[in-house]
Amino acid sequence: MSSKINVAILGATGAVGTELLELLASRQFPVNKLKLLASPRSAGTKLSFRGEELTVEAVGDDSFADVDLVLASAGGSTSKVYAPKAVAAGAVVVDNSSAFRLDPNVPLIVPEINPEAAKAHQGIIANPNCTTILMAIAVYPLHQVSPVKRIVVATYQSASGAGARAMEEVKTQAQAILNGETAKPEIFPHAIAFNLFPHNSPLNDNGYCEEEMKMVNETRKIFNAPELRVSATCVRVPVLRAHSEAVNLEFAQPFNRDRAREILAKAPGVKLVEDWGANYFPMPVDATNRDEVLVGRIRQDISHECGLELWLCGDQIRKGAALNAVQIAELLVKENLLRSAATVSV
């Protein structure tokens, strides 16, 4: 395995794609050649990487010859078509879509939690859903000390989760309303500026939407805890790019909040943000552009002797997507897990 890696970003022009580009440079990932792929709409667009101007290409069947690693963030339908082609061409794909996350042959990785699962990959590794990653980073260190029995979570999700054009829509709608006009929803189904709405992913028969069920099923897979009970309510709010979550945890035993604080103060990927005197706790503006998940307002649940409440904010584009994907890529390099997929079909 060469120490310099040929990388392709699929979805390079998107909100996560541009962040992947920045992270590969700032974290000095050992890139040899970098290929930028998107839809035909943006073929010819120039993006800069380490001071060099690169041209975006339309993805096609032949895009992956000589590529060792694909970081894919172009939606599930694109991944379903191109991830198997990339694997067949000898690349390992770190996929940010939901297409393969629950496939038993595809590891679902948060490097701070289950890095060892990457060893079993067969060419595709899935990057979990953003709200799930942020919650898992905060809950897992506690779960390791005393198993969590049940999680009840409410999310406050920023526009970035729906992509770069959705972030623009928050601004244009806000401007329109401030100008006395009516907000015209284009990307979102409802007005997002000065409003919020339950997450608009498709509803399941059980009444939960897909985003909520991702939090249930993906947390179980990442924690390797198939019996874990999770109930989520996901809400889209007019915040640009960091998600917030109110998390209620029920343990088998009482969990002292000071002990929880001590554990989270040292937990990887977590920054404890609590100033009880100033009533200051994590906020999305503080989490924006940060790698850590900000956790605070840890308190004993007054309604249950084994319950704990906490509040968190995390940058959806960074730890919720691009950073986690790059950390997985770093893990693949460190553990020499690239190219091993070349002979395995998906």
Residues that bind ligand A2P (CB under 6 A): 11-17, 38-39, 41-42, 59, 74-75, 78, 163-165
SS3 (DSSP) at 107: coil
Q: How many CB atoms lie within 10 A of CB 299?
A: 15
Choose among 258, 312, 303: nearest CA to 283: 312
CB of 228 to ligand A2P, least distance (A): 29
CB of 165 to ligand A2P, least distance (A): 6
Q: Which is nearer to ligand A2P, 13 or 219 (CB)?
A: 13
Q: Which is nearer to ligand A2P, 167 or 337 (CB)?
A: 167
H/E stretch holding 231 reads strand 229-236
H/E stretch holding 321 reads none
Strand partners, 280: 275
- Report the residue number whose CB is nearest to ligand A2P: 14
Q: How many residues does the chain have?
A: 346
CB of 201 to ligand A2P, least distance (A): 14
Q: Which is nearer to ligand A2P, 78 or 146 (CB)?
A: 78
Rounded CA gap, 138 and 293, in Å?
A: 7
Q: Which is nearer to ligand A2P, 59 or 264 (CB)?
A: 59
Residue with structure tokens 């959806």? 316
- How far from 116 is each of 199, 222, 224, 332, 334, CA to CA, in Å? 32, 11, 12, 11, 12
SS3 (DSSP) at 181: coil
CB of 78 to ligand A2P, least distance (A): 4
Q: Which is nearer to ligand A2P, 39 or 233 (CB)?
A: 39
CB of 199 to ligand A2P, least distance (A): 16
- The type of residue at 204 is N
H/E stretch holding 23 reads helix 15-26
- How far from 185 is each of 253, 285, 331, CA to CA, in Å? 47, 24, 40
Catalytic residues: 130, 243
